Chains A and B, each alone.
Chain A
Amino acid sequence: MRIQVSCFATLSRYAPTDGFLEIKEGATPIDVIDQLSIPREEVKIVFVNGQNSGKEIELQEDDRVGIFPAIGGG
């Protein structure tokens, strides 16, 4: 199934070129991180559909996933 993935800041170089990714049924954000070869320790925050739902929930078709390193500002 297909999901939408964006990677930001220092991780932007890992983003899929067209912004979409084919994943297996039952895949989680951790699987996505591995599939994109992002070093796990560089990922601080994952949003699934704008919610910080953890890296272990099961993804659904058309989910929107955002992957971030540690970020601050304000």
Chain B
Amino acid sequence: MAQPNRAKKGSLREKVVHMYDALLDEDDLDRYPHFWDELFVLKPKPGYLASKLLTIDDARLVQKTVAVHRVAGQAVRRLDTQTNSELAVFNSLLTLFMLLEDLTRRKLGNNLEKFLFDSSNQEAFLKDLLESLRQILDHCSNSSVLRLTLRFLLLLVAAKERIEQNLFVSGMMDRSLFEAFMKVLADPPRRKIVGYEIVTLLGVLPHYPTLEPESNPYLQLSVMEPSIELMGIAGVMGESFQSSTREFFQQVLAVQKDNGWMTWITKTVTRTPRTTLNVHLQDAMLLSLCTGLKIGRNFVHAFTHAQSEILVAGPPPTPTVEALDNVSVTSEPAVVTPKEAAVEEPSNLFVEFLQYTSIVLQLRDEKSVEHARMSLLILGTITEDHYTTQFMHDFSINYRVQFYRAASRYHPCQILQSSKPEPLACAVLNLISEFITSHMMLNFPHDLYFRCLLVVYRLMDYQKRTRFRLPYQWRTLWSALLSLLKFLQANEGSLIDQIPNFFLFCTQVVNILNIFLIGGDAILSQVGSYDDLCYEIVRNSTIVNNAFTMGLRFSTVQSASIQASSKKFLTAMTNLRAVVAHFAPKVDAFSLEFGKTTLEREEILRVIQKHYDTLNLKLVDMNECFEKNANGRDKEFMSSFLVNVLKEIRTSCFSTSETFLFDPMDISKLSS
């Protein structure tokens, strides 16, 4: 053994510390009998090793390469669970984790592997390492070993900035780790421990480009059946979203509590900094969800499977006494007060996802915008699918979705919740209406708007085709669209440069209103709804007229493309203008007749009802403007998102090594 250097610190140093020193500093370890055997059963001091490694700068590391290779090789040799004790496995894994963490931290570029193992026996090294890890996944019943293994795998995957350069990932492609992952996902106690990590891996790994696409084992996700595994994945995602949402909502409720009348005054007077709301962003989960949806044929099933207590061993929700109301149209969402929030609602991944999205959509920082884009991309994929769209419109599947409403001039931040469970399409529409009204800003996120409108269009299209009458308070959407039109018209000057195809976008907005005007007989669920629609348009007649003049103005402009698209916009506007032109004089005449300057809503509705017959509407083709909207930038976006996710994983892995402690407890005992 190395001589104890007491003089240095004056305190007794543990044996393991000496061994760490020897490990890196001394060339000849053979003179210590059983050095390695001892090293891996001693209680590790990750902190010391990490700081020790930190003292070595990159240049010196090159000299130490042999020593590192030796440690890594010995550690890998001890990963075999059959011949080694769980403790030894854990310690060697931890050693490897620390080495890799240190190497990843350094800006070594692409030759990171070179430092970890000898490039001459790279094949054998990778094979041994991954095979052992697979064995652990399959057979190990120790929770701390399992957790560390998954963290280590994550670190391996995130070791490089770009996944395609990662040698470890290419190694993972060949082993049947996928099956091992699935086994873990199917087993609730183990899923509880490492489910999140596995789902993250499943989100990342399919993106590795292989020479032959079929050889990527993670593409098996695409044919995954609606089974325990898939429900397990859904469960993990749902729980992650739920925890983020719940955490955030608690903050909101805390803010709400503060927002009493008096506190508001004191706050405005004293100008105390606003409490900021933080949400734990679930990058990896969103990526996994999107990946799953994009490649998985049956992945949509994950959405529709409600969280069952049998699988997600949660506490049973407490029964609540609900006042019965017989309104056939869903009422406006009500604000959730702190008291109500305690009630556990039944939910599924879809609900959790929507709630999470409602938060992400309202956050304005750059990272959240990325998130919002991802969420809307997912929402778009969902609405594209017939099965999920049908699921959203199922009368028997009702949920009460809570969603977040950011503070605005008119109201503080709120959590809104419908008064009774309603089909999920209602929640989606609520979410989008809220987004439309809340994001009219000069830095116009037109891309997000495009996606939102597409989602609405698809829902409408489904309802139109199947003659499904969603009991939704459409007025929310109509007024949101009309005010969006107003915003567009008012800020045309700056927006026309921002938005690639300004008039196409305007046309889309108008066309959604057109769907109601022309096809309302197949969509609306209430007798008076059509009157409401006309009322809403007549009420905003100035918006309609101004928008029309804007279109006229651009139709004579030089640029041919703008000219053409603005003409299309004018065609789309025909019906709105017809409604205004038809009813506005009648309403005026009515007010003249009765000598009233301001008319009641009911009176105007009566006028509208009387004069339908002479109003003629034009059939407009709406598919065109939405089909052209295909977005080719998804791919770029996905890969940049992936890079971000890898970065996230990397940072989350750093400095966690000290948190790993060996616990000899078996998983089966944990669950019981």
Partners in one complex: no
